[in-house]
Amino acid sequence: MPTATTSGADASNGSSAHNRQHNQGNQERKYTVEQKAAVLRIRKCEPTAFYEILEVSKTCTDAEIKKAYRKQSLLTHPDKNGHEHADEAFKMVARAFSVLGDKEKRDKYDRFGTDPDSRFASAQQQNPFAGFANRGGAARAHHGGMWGDDADISPEEMFARFFGGGGFGGGPFGAAFDGGPQFVFNFGGGPGIRVHQFGGGRPRTRPRQAGQQQEGNTMWSTLMSLLPIIVLFIFPMISSLFSGMTSAPSTPSMAFEQAKAPYTMARKMPNVKVNYFVNPNDVRHYSASKLYNLDQKAEVIFVQSLQQQCEREMAEKRRLIEEAQGWFTTDQEKLAKAERYETPACIRIKTLYSSGGSKY
């Protein structure tokens, strides 16, 4: 019995020692010849040679980029590849995919050949005269991006999102290396094609069942999307039918500053003191108070029209300045001409405000 007790203790101690050695990590990390070759090849690449890292051509499609990332990330992931430089290679693969998998970043990379997220590259790509166009305050819209607005996503999190997570004790390899549950696509009522599910902790529903549920959701979402059109157009049309055909428009047509037939009856705006002209037949039944309200409306319309014209003039001036600046050099002659571009509506508004006549 003592011998048996001693042997059990030794076995327990040996098992604990083995577990400690396994948990500490790097004593006997293994890798295949293919995994080693992938790590060595990637580490020979330049850090920004993204196409070379993923082994794709510059004319490759988005689907080919995803396929290449799937292959290289599985080969170099440190949890599956025990090579001492696997972690570095895995990060280079993730970086390459974060650029080439994002349409906007890939366009910048193809144009400038540098990492679009590096500060030095951003300084080279930025137009030094961009302030003229007032683009500095615009929010960056991430269109075409694969990861949303999260530009600082880690390689591990990118891998987990790509493969869907789950399995292997909660790690990303549950979907990456396991077959996972299956579902069937039915084409034309035939036997269908059996496809493995990559990612997700729950089995996917059969497309026939999902389609039935989505059909109701689609109909409801379509109805909700049409609601603003109904409110904006249908209701006014209905109200106009009930209002009758004999009612006159709330604000008659008018001409500003100069008479033009049939607008021959002169009126004056109360604040800016600018003349406007209406058709006498349109206002023949107006009382004195209604005519004064018309004067105020005419002034609002006149000032807003000037403001809109001023905005168009300033937009054209900004466009000419941008065109003169270019990407790398500035055409001083064009820039001077752009800065001399006249904006009469803006000058007129400034005159109205300086004289204290306008309150709009």
Give the whole-angstrom CA distance, residue 97 versus residue 79: 19
Position 38 scores a pLDDT of 93
DSSP H helical ranges for 189-287: 207-229, 235-243
For residue 321 the two structure tokens come to 């300045």
Angle of the 62-76 helix axis to the 33-44 helix axis, nearest 10 = 120
Give the whole-angstrom CA distance, residue 278 versus residue 283: 8
Residue with tokens 């683009």: 135
Mean pLDDT of each 10-residue bin along the chain, 360 residues long:
43 46 54 93 93 93 93 92 93 93 91 79 49 41 45 73 56 48 45 46 48 64 79 72 56 91 93 92 92 92 92 93 86 91 91 66
Position 358 scores a pLDDT of 53
Position 212 scores a pLDDT of 52
